[in-house]
Amino acid sequence: MNVMVDVETQVGGILEAMEVPGNIVLPAFEDFARVALDEIRLGTLSGNPWPVDTGISQDSWISSVDFDDQSITVSFFNAARTEPNPRTGKGGGRSYAAYIYRAGTANDDNNRVWEEKENFIIENLLPSLMEECIQLILQSGLEV
C-alpha cells in the first residue's frame, strides 16, 4: 500500500459561489502543504517526528498543491520502497511507509505513525488553513 493522502476541500465551489478566484487562497494551501510536510517529517508542531531507522522513509515524503477552477488539492506521498535482499538481490520495491509504527508499540493499525500524523494534521492544521483562506479573501477587497 502506498501512502498517498489527498487533503481536498470543496473550496472551489464555495469560491465560485462567492465569485472569488481560487488563486487568491492558493498561497494558504501552499503554506499548509509546507507546514504539514514539516510536521510529517520532523514533528515541528507535535514534537513527534517520523521515526528514523535509515531515514529513507522520512526523507521520501513529498507534497504537491494542484489547483483548477473547481478544487484545490494538497497531496502527500511517500515513495520509499524496500531494498532488495543484499545477499540474493531479489525482492524489494514494496512500499512500507504506511506500515511504520512507533518503537515499543504493537504493530497494528492503531499504532501506525501515518494515522497519528493524519489525525494531527486534520485536527490542528486544517482549521488554520480555513482561517488563512478567510483572511486572504477579506484582504483581497472582493465583495463576498
Please state the three-class secondary structure of the chain as a single string: CCEEEEEECCHHHHHHHHCCCHHHCHHHHHHHHHHHHHHHHHCCCCCCCCCCCCCHHHHCEEEEEEECCCCEEEEEEECCECCCCCCCCCCCCCECHHHCECCCCCCCHHHEHHHHHHHHHHHHHHHHHHHHHHHHHHHCCCCC
Q: Residue 22's domain spans which residues?
A: 3-139
Is 99 part of a structural domain of the chain? yes
Question: Residue 116: what residue type?
Answer: E
Q: What is the pLDDT along the chain (144 residues), one digit of tens a residue?
A: 344 444 444 444 555 555 667 788 889 999 999 999 999 999 999 999 998 777 788 888 999 888 876 678 888 888 888 788 788 888 777 777 877 888 888 877 777 888 889 889 989 998 898 889 889 888 988 766
| Model pTM score | 0.79
Is 35 part of a structural domain of the chain? yes
Is 57 part of a structural domain of the chain? yes
Is 30 part of a structural domain of the chain? yes
Is 81 part of a structural domain of the chain? yes
Is 144 part of a structural domain of the chain? no
